[in-house]
Amino acid sequence: MSPIKLKFLFATALLFSIVLGSCNMQDEEIQIPERVFGRLEVLKRNLNTDLDLFANSKQKSELYYESNLSFEYQVTGAKEQIKLDASIEKNRLLSVLSYKKDELGWVEASNLAIDLQEGYKGKMNILIEKHAGSLKKKFDLATVSRIANILEGLPELLYNELGRKEFYDESTMSIYYHLAAFNTARRSYESRSRDCQCEVNPNYIGEKSTFFCAEDILINADFAFEITKERLAIKQAEGYQFNPNTLLKYLIQESGQFVAASKIDKLVRDEFDSYWKKLKENERKQFYNNNLTLSMFSTITTRSDSYDGSPMDPFCWIYDVRSGSDCGCCGNYSGACWYCSWICFVHDYGCQTCNRIECFWGCVPEPCANNWNP
C-alpha cells in the first residue's frame, strides 16, 4: 500500500472517526446526523477547576462534593430550546435536561441521578441503557433524533465557554450522559430492536475520554481494512496463519461506510478465539513463548463468548500494541498494555495534538508515533 494512500486513509479516519449518533445508508451515501447550532447562555456555574482531583477516583469520591451548572441553549432559526440544570451534592449528581418547542412550555426530557462512588464508571453503560429505554417510552423517533442532534453541538460550545478545567467537572460531563441515552434510544428505534444497547467505552473507564457508547464510535471501513491487511501480511511473514475472513468480508461489504469500532473488535476477538482453539498444544506453547511481551487478558468481561483460554489480546497481537503508552492501548501508563481495541486507537489517533474536547487531562501528544507510522 502506498504511503500517500495510507496517509489519506488516516486523514479520513481522523476526520470522521468519532461520530455521535448513527449513520444511515441512503442513495449510496453516508448521511451523518446534522449538528444543530445555537446560542448558549450560562445561567449559573460553580465548577471545580482542580484537574488533579480527577486523576484518582478514590480522591475524587472524598473531595469532589459540590458543583453546579445551569444553562439554556437557543436553537438558531427555530423556537426550540434546551436547558440543563446539573448539580453535585454529597457525591450525588443530579442532572435534568428540559426541552421546549414552539410556544409550548418546558418539558422534562431527561433526568439522571448518579452516585459518584468509586467504580461508578464501570456501571454507566447499564444506567444509560435503562434510561434510553425510558426515553423510547416517552418520545417518538423524530423527537429522540431531534434532541440528540441538538445535544451534539453542545460539548464544543461548553468547552469554549467554560474552558478546559471547568469543562471536565462532572456537572458539565453530564451532558454526555444525556446525549448517550438519546443516541442509544435512536439506535434502538432505527434497528427496530427492543433492546437499548450501550457497550462501555474502555477509554472512559480508564479516565482517558469523555463518555460515549462504544457503538457510537465509528471508523472508516476502508481504513480498517487496509490497516488490518497490512498487519496480517506482517504476521503471515512471521509464520502465523491467522486469517480473519469474516472480519475482512465484513469490511469489504461495508466499503465506503463508517462502522462501529466495537463491531470490528468483536469480530477480531471471535475469529482469533477460533484460530486459537484449532492450534495444537505445542503450537500454543510456541505461540505464547514467541509473544511473551504482549498483553494477557485481564478482565473476563472483555473476552468474547467463544473465549477458550488464549493468553493474548488479539488486538494487541495483530496491531503490535505492547506498552501502555502505545497507540491503541486503552490506557496511558508504563509497562505492558493490558487491553487494546479499535475504539482506543480511534481515540489516540484523534488526540495526536491533545486539543480535542474528548482528549482528557492525561493526554500525551503523538501517542501513535511509535507503533503506527502512516
DSSP 12-68: HHHHHSB--S--EEETTEEEPPPPPPEEEEEEEEE----GGGGS-HHHHHHH--EEE
Question: What pLDDT is stored for residue 156 in this prediction?
Answer: 87
Q: Is the pLDDT of residue 59 over 80?
A: no
Q: Within a domain: residue 33?
A: no
Q: Within a domain: residue 205?
A: yes
Tens digits of per-residue pLDDT, 113-158? 999 888 888 889 999 999 999 999 999 999 999 999 999 889 889 9
* 209 — pLDDT class (breaks 50, 70, 90): confident
* C-alpha cell of residue 232: 496480517
Q: Within a domain: residue 57?
A: yes
294 vs 3 pLDDT, higher one: 294
Same domain, yes or no: 141 and 231: no
Residue 274, CA distances (Å) to 219, 246, 309 in order: 25, 11, 11
Distance CA 276, CA 255 (A): 28
* 15 — pLDDT class (breaks 50, 70, 90): very low
Residue 72, CA distances (Å) to 29, 128, 142, 170 in order: 34, 23, 22, 18
Same domain, yes or no: 53 and 184: yes
Domain of residue 300 covers 217-350
Same domain, yes or no: 72 and 204: yes
Assign 223 to helix, strand or coil. Answer: helix
Distance CA 295, CA 276 (A): 16
* 65 — pLDDT class (breaks 50, 70, 90): low
* 9 — pLDDT class (breaks 50, 70, 90): very low
Grid-cell match 426541552, residue found:
99
Tell me the average pLDDT across 292-307.
Answer: 51
Same domain, yes or no: 232 and 344: yes
Percent of the chain having pLDDT more than 90?
Answer: 30
Residue 297, CA distances (Å) to 120, 188, 303, 316 in order: 22, 30, 8, 10
Same domain, yes or no: 274 and 321: yes
- The answer to whether 327 and 367 are in contact (CB under 8 A) is yes
Q: Is the pLDDT of residue 50 over 80?
A: no
Question: What pLDDT is stored for residue 302 in this prediction?
Answer: 43
- The answer to whether 108 and 84 are in contact (CB under 8 A) is no
* 25 — pLDDT class (breaks 50, 70, 90): very low
Q: Which residues of 187-222 are buried (b: 16+ CB within 10 A; e: fewer)?
A: bbbeeeeeebbbbbbbbbbbbbbbbbbbbbbbbbbb
* 361 — pLDDT class (breaks 50, 70, 90): low
Q: Is the pLDDT of residue 35 over 80?
A: no
Same domain, yes or no: 250 and 290: yes
DSSP letters, 52-112, are: GGGS-HHHHHHH--EEEEEEEEEETTSS-EEEEEEEEETTEEEEEEEEE-TT---EEEEEE
Q: Is the pLDDT of residue 29 over 70?
A: no
* 360 — pLDDT class (breaks 50, 70, 90): confident
Q: Within a domain: residue 175?
A: yes
User: Quick check: pTM over 0.85?
Assistant: no
Tens digits of per-residue pLDDT, 237-266? 988 888 899 999 999 999 988 888 888 988
Q: Is the pLDDT of residue 102 over 60?
A: yes
Q: How many domains does the chain have?
A: 2
Question: What pLDDT is stored for residue 341 in this prediction?
Answer: 85
Distance CA 171, CA 175 (A): 8
Q: What is the DSSP letter of 295?
A: P
Distance CA 113, CA 94 (A): 5
Same domain, yes or no: 199 and 316: no
102 vs 159 pLDDT, higher one: 159
